[in-house]
Amino acid sequence: MLALIFLVTTVMAIYIKVLLLRIWMQWARCDFYNPFSQFVVKITQPVVKPLRRIIPSIGPLDSASLLIAYIVSVLLGPVLLRLFVKDPIFLYFGLVILVKAAGVLVFWVIIVRSLMSWISQGRNPVDYVLIQLTEPLMAPVRRIIPAIGGIDFSAMAVILVLYMLNFLGLEYILGWAQF
């Protein structure tokens, strides 16, 4: 039973992150014709397309994808806690799971972009999307902390801010540590 719960929670968590990545890519106006962008759209399209007819986008925010990510997060809460009861607290826990998943996604995208900058140097389609996603976060930091000796510390500063927000969540948000 534990293996099944692990498998279900892993698939749900990955799908939440892919949905959040789709929202982030639309918000950052990533190249839609990029192969990586096409993959993200194609893997989420079967679920998002029917709901998009009912719920329109709000500016650059893909509200249909956000609603589906929230619903999957609400469903993930009882599975993670191994409680199979209906309780309104899981609506709150779904929001906590969604916010924490967004933070983890930002963290890993910045890490992958930093590692790929050592290897591919912008020639890969995935690298191009990662640059489009992280540049709105890293450019303001780069204005404050310039490159020193050719080393860019903006990724480290953004990750440090994410760690600080995670510790603030641990201290002030109920249920943050469980998810």
Report the pLDDT value the prediction gives residue 59, as an integer from 0 to 100: 82
Single out the residue of 106, 134, 112 nearest to residue 28, CA to CA: 134
Rounded Cα distance between 31 and 28, Å, is 9
Check residue 150 and report its DSSP letter.
T
Distances, alpha carbon 106 to alpha carbons 7, 91, 111, 142, 143, in Å: 23, 23, 9, 17, 20
- Coil, helix or strand at residue 3: helix
User: Residue ranges of the domains in the chain?
Assistant: 1-172
Residues 93-130: tens digit of each pLDDT: 888 889 999 999 999 999 999 888 888 876 788 888 99
Q: Phi and psi (nearest 5°) for 58?
A: -105, 95
pLDDT of residue 148: 86
pTM score, two decimals?
A: 0.86
Question: Would you say 80 and 178 are in contact if contact means Cβ atoms under 8 Å apart?
Answer: yes
Give the model's pLDDT for residue 134. 93
Residue 83, pLDDT > 70, answer: no
Confidence at residue 122, expressed as pLDDT on a 0 to 100 scale: 65
49 or 83, greater pLDDT: 49
CA distances (Å), origin 163, targets 102, 139, 167? 13, 19, 6
Question: Do residues 26 and 129 lie in contact, with contact meaning Cβ atoms separated by under 8 Å?
Answer: no
Contact 28, 136 (CB under 8 A): yes
- Which residue has 């994808």 as its token pair? 65
List beta partners, residue 58.
61
- In the predicted model, is pLDDT for residue 69 greater than 90? yes
